[in-house]
Structure 1
């Protein structure tokens, strides 16, 4: 895991005109990426359904796992649609995002709004809003009472986060996104997606009963959601991430230097649509996922920024709090040590 120091690194804003050259998507490439995702997805669903009905479970299980991995890929494509990166036409991006939102059970407008807020506020200690994992500072944590500390510890527990988080986000929060219900477009997006999902599941039930829903749809969706939550966690919860208060915060520096480059094997890059190249994506979100490797190829400096290997990522699960003194993510032990030394923030 590595990151340049603020004194030695290149200002993130200087990369904007460089990255602009990679903004335009290729229509043929976008269609190819969609075809090589959707066709295998439908095929694997059919194989899983047939093998489930035939009680050939040794075929069903791997088919469901691969279906879940493809759901992660489709969600990543939906994510790019929200940024207007798959097609040059915003209308085409919106409609593709809406269709994928039914498959991924994530209403397109709701998802896009939350994600836009995330892009606009990530790393800002004064604007920890929706679309991000709550991260307290060491002083904030130490100023809380026992119950609040216990609640935060539970929230940041990796088993709770990775087991309950995907289910909550996709099966509960996206069904009724109360925090966005003040605007009609988000209500329509959520309810329209819910209705479409109900029609799809009703059709599946009509032809196959509960089996395909319980043993293909639910587990494959959870697998895709789990993978997505895991990658999202690593993107912004690594040791060298940056947080600042509004006066010192920069949207460009936070995008590039507050996001990781999660180095994954090629097959995982394919399933995740190169989402590991997150620092480049955050700085210039209009770049289609299939062009992100071009950026690293042409600009090795970016390939060396905020690298997080898979082994590094396992250690990231121990990081829970932002230490404003050391400017690093730390675990609860570091916070407890500071509390024992009497280094506390004013009581709330």
Structure 2
């Protein structure tokens, strides 16, 4: 939770997304997109300072951005890190299983469902990303296929966020915590030593 809630928003939104590194960074279109986004963000921040002052930037705009980033990371995390999640390598990876067992239906209260643009129907997004967000509730209601995805409530989501499930153990096919992964690694190394 410390990394997710405190460091995650800073790293992901203020550093990682601002640098043209990683996937697609060898493409000029990706580098240009990042540079253009950074330019517009710099202009936005400068505009806020000129119109409203540095205090508004530091005590209103940046905290709102930080909280929004925290919520985004939280929502993404709890929809992909849960007990019995499906993770698989090529060539055994299956599209339908990945969509229905590798992400959840995060059942949110109607107000939060609307405020998040129906992000709780993440399993449907993985199955058919071209379905517009306003149709996702209807798909969930009318299509039996999508009803098999694990359902997580907001209360469950907070339990998941604070659970000790950070790493995927390929042998047991379960998420485990760092201590458990370290223990299993020591066991494995001990067996190999004999």
Normalised by the length of structure 2, the TM-score is: 0.87
Answering whether residue 42 of structure 2 is matched by residue 218 of structure 1, we say no
Which residue does the alignment assign to 1:302?
146
Answering whether residue 12 of structure 2 is matched by residue 169 of structure 1, we say yes
Quick check: 210-219 or 327-336, which moved more? 327-336
How far off its partner does 1:338 sit?
3.3
Q: Which of the numbers 278, 281, 290 marks the counterpart of 2:125?
A: 281
Answering whether residue 183 of structure 2 is matched by residue 343 of structure 1, we say no
Answering whether residue 2 of structure 2 is matched by residue 159 of structure 1, we say yes
Q: In 2 relative to 1, CA 279–202 (structure 1 residues): closer, same or farther, beyond 3 Å?
A: same
3-state SS, counterpart of residue 175 of structure 2:
strand
3-state SS, counterpart of residue 91 of structure 2:
helix
How far off its partner does 1:292 sit?
0.4
Any unmatched runs of 5+ in structure 1?
1-157
Which residue does the alignment assign to 2:39?
195
1:211-250 maps to which residues of 2 (within 5 A)?
211-250=55-94
Which residue does the alignment assign to 1:3?
none
C-alpha RMSD of the superposition: 2.2
How far off its partner does 1:175 sit?
1.6
Any unmatched runs of 5+ in structure 2?
none
> C-alpha offsets along residues 227-276 of structure 1, whole Å, 9 cap, x if unaligned?
00000001111112111221311233212221111111111111111111
How far apart are the structure 2 equivalents of 1:310 and 1:215? 28
Normalised by the length of structure 1, the TM-score is: 0.50
**Relative contact order: is structure 1 or structure 2 higher (C-alpha 8 Å, sep ≥ 6)?**
1
Q: In 2 relative to 1, CA 250–210 (structure 1 residues): closer, same or farther, beyond 3 Å?
A: same
1:1-348 maps to which residues of 2 (within 5 A)?
158-179=1-22, 180-300=24-144, 302-317=146-161, 318-339=164-185, 342-344=187-189
How far off its partner does 1:205 sit?
1.6
How far apart are the structure 2 equivalents of 1:332 and 1:204? 42
> C-alpha offsets along residues 112-148 of structure 1, whole Å, 9 cap, x if unaligned?
xxxxxxxxxxxxxxxxxxxxxxxxxxxxxxxxxxxxx
How far apart are the structure 2 equivalents of 1:307 and 1:261? 5
> C-alpha offsets along residues 309-331 of structure 1, whole Å, 9 cap, x if unaligned?
22322332321122333322222
